[in-house]
Amino acid sequence: MVSTNYKGVLAEAEIAAAAARCDVPVYKPLSGHSRADFIFDVGGRLWRVQVKWGRLSPDGDVVVVRTAGSRLTAAGYVRSTYTEAEIDLFGIYCDGVDRCFLLPATLVAGKQGVVIRLTPTRNGQRACTTLADDVDFDGAVAQLGERRRGTAEVRGSSPLSSTSARHVIGANLFRDGFGTWIDRVAAGEEVVVTRHGKPRVLLSPAFGTEPISPIPLDVSADSSPLPAPPEDRAPRRPG
């Protein structure tokens, strides 16, 4: 049986190699008390990266990742999850498919584990589903670079979908994958939702936005009656 220590060492080596192939400078903290295993320099920003081992499921459909950390305290080992204040990215290596993935902290923070699907669900569900192709290491690194360059530009100075960090998706597919797309927008990507091929909604991350208080709906404030709906039935014939 492969030891946990071996898995950790191999996963770090594979993630570092994947970053090197993408021409990403990799730094390693000297202190053993850091929550990050690596620091990536991408797009002019330093990203804190935690590396995890992914286990291939027996059916080969998903990669199962245990993301909770474990540390030794005076009271014994304590398991804890990661927060977005501690980690920016999660690098995952699965030796079952010899593949690396890179996930934003928004998909992992506060969770004991995540599941990455290598194949689509049998019922076609995309909501709250993390697909392997969406978090492939090379593609994720490319999007980080484009995202940093895109946010430095004046919004509207370039057409929609001019960078890989902006996705164009139909309304039905957006609805089916609502949870996944919201997480990706929160991580810094932009999504253009279309209907009948025409752009309808642009979703962008709310960086630096003050919390918004909900507006109470007070139907009693307007005493005027609602207009009656139009009659859509054909008029009855007399007799």
Write down the pLDDT at residue 157.
37
Domains of the chain and any CATH numbers: 4-152 (3.40.1350.10)
Provide the strand spans (E) within the chain: 26-27, 38-42, 45-56, 62-66, 69-73, 76-80, 89-94, 99-104, 113-117, 130-131, 166-170, 190-195, 198-203
**Full-model pTM:** 0.63
Out of 69-73, 81-85, 149-153, which region has the weakest mean confidence (pLDDT)?
A: 149-153
CB-based burial label for 239 (10 Å; 0-12, 13-18, 19+): exposed
The tens digit of pLDDT for each residue in 181-209 reads 777 787 778 888 888 777 888 888 876 55
Q: Residue 44: CA atoms inside 13 Å, Cβ hemisphere, count?
A: 7
Name the maximum alpha-carbon separation found in the chain. Answer: 93
The tens digit of pLDDT for each residue in 131-143 reads 899 899 999 998 8
